[in-house]
Structures are given as C-alpha cells and as structure tokens.
A and B are shown apart, each in its own frame.
Chain A
Amino acid sequence: MFRLQAVPIDCAALNRELAAPGAGALVSFEGRVRNSNEGRSVDRLEYEAYPGLAEREMKRILAEAGERFPLLGLACVHRTGALEIGDVAVWVGALSGHRGEAFEACQFVIDELKHRVPIWKKEHYTDGDAEWVNCARCAEHAGHRHPSTK
C-alpha cells in the first residue's frame, strides 16, 4: 500500500493496521521535519509530488521489496503540502515473521523512495530564503543562478 496525503500522518493507526497472526516483527520508520539542513536553519517545508508517477514508482519499489524479503505486510505514506518542524513527512512499515527482514525491508523502501520517487521538498529557511532541495546545485552547474525567492 502506498498513498500520498495532504493531511497529517497518523503513525499509530498505520502501525495498528499493519497486522498478521504470523508476524513477529513490525519495523516502522517515521521521517520527520528537522530544523536544520546542511548548516542552514529551517523554518518549515513544502512537499510536492507528481502523483501519477510517484504512485507507479512506489508500487514498483514495494513489489521489489516483496521479492527480496519474506514479508507479511509493507506500506508507505508520504505527505504533501506545508509541514512544520517535527511533522511526519513519510512513514514506512514492514511486517514479517522475524525482525531481520523487517529492518532490511524498511530501510530498502525509504532509501529507494529518496532516490527514485518524484517527490520534491522546498525548504523555507529562518532567514526568509527558500530553496528546492537538490535543485540549486544543478542550476549553478548550468551557470544560471536563479533569482532569489526572497
């Protein structure tokens, strides 16, 4: 299961729903909004997704995890919209008979998500500046520094 949602993620409810009689382990991961990144003080974040392709690519990642690890359940929810410090941006839950594969599957899903899924994060800094994460550098390489978003 994967979904994008614009409302807060209820991790406790998601953890409860991920259940099976043969499951001895649930490993869940919460990615939360941190107040700093690469030395800059972060005030809040904005997430934007390309829904059609984000859902398609996440389904592939979950299917790949299901092939690699013997799981009894696997799910992921990602936020969109405006988030404050401490808010949950992403939740991943992996359910299995034993803990080893649940830990590995959970890590696999969040790592692949970060590299492959078309979701973007705009950081708003406490100094009033704002930047799309991972995008500023490629524009600098192209030799066209974009106008400040101040």
Chain B
Amino acid sequence: MKIQVDYFARLRELRGLSSETCITEAPTVGDLYEELNRAHGFGMDREHLRAAVNDDFSSWNRSLCEGDRVVFIPPVAGG
C-alpha cells in the first residue's frame, strides 16, 4: 500500500526530505514508524513523538489505509 509521509523540523533534517511516498505493508502507524526508523536511524523513540494521519492526531495503533498522509511529530516548541 502507498502511504505519504511528510517530515517536519528535526525529522525532516534527519530524513533529508520534506515528503515521500512509502510502499509498505506496515499494518499500523506505529509499525510504519518502526519500519522507517530502522531504515533511516532517526534515533528518536516513539515515546517522544506523536503521530498524525490526514491532518489530525492519531493513536499509534491506528490501521493504515491506502493514500493516508502520515506525519510523525517531534516534541513541539511553539511560542
């Protein structure tokens, strides 16, 4: 299945990309993060991140659907 992953801030720099289309069999959002973390060595544990799917916060165990747009959110620092 094809999933769009967008990267921001620290993760964007570590990945060297703002966005990519991933072909994956990962069943959940959390599984997709683990897969990408293994491939690219982000060095950030899931416990420090939040996940978003289609522009809203998501649980890590949400099932992925074809065409989903996923963002992994590093610790925020607005203001």
Known: A56-B56, A120-B8. A138 touches B41 (CB 8 A): no
* Chain A 65-93 interface mask (CB, 8 Å, partner B; 1/0): 00000000000001000000000011000
Q: Which residues of B contact A143 (CB under 8 A)?
A: 43
Within 8 A of A (CB), among B4-28: 6, 8-10, 12-14
A-contact bits for B15-53, CB 8 A (1 contact / 0 none): 000000000000000000000000001011100100010
Which stretch of A11-19, A97-105, A110-118 is in the interface? Answer: A110-118
Chain A residue numbers with a CB within 8 Å of B48 are 138, 141-142
Chain B residues, CB < 8 A from A90: 78-79
Task: Find out whether the CB atom of B9 lies under 8 angstroms from the CB atom of A144.
Answer: no
Do the beta carbons of A53 and B56 come within 8 Å of each other?
yes
Q: Please measure, in the bound complex, the distance between the C-alpha atom of A57 and the C-alpha atom of B78, giving whole angstroms.
A: 12
Complex Cα–Cα for A138 and B75 (A): 9
Given contacts A120-B8, A138-B48, contact A50 B43 (CB under 8 A): no
Interchain nearest-CB distance for B69 vs A (Å):
9
Contact partners of A57 in chain B: CB under 8 A? 57
A57 CA to B76 CA, complexed, in Å: 13
Q: Determine which residue in A89, A90, A134 has the highest number of CB atoms from chain B within 10 A of its CB, and name it.
A: A134
Closest 4 A/B residue pairs (Cβ): A144-B43, A119-B78, A138-B48, A120-B9
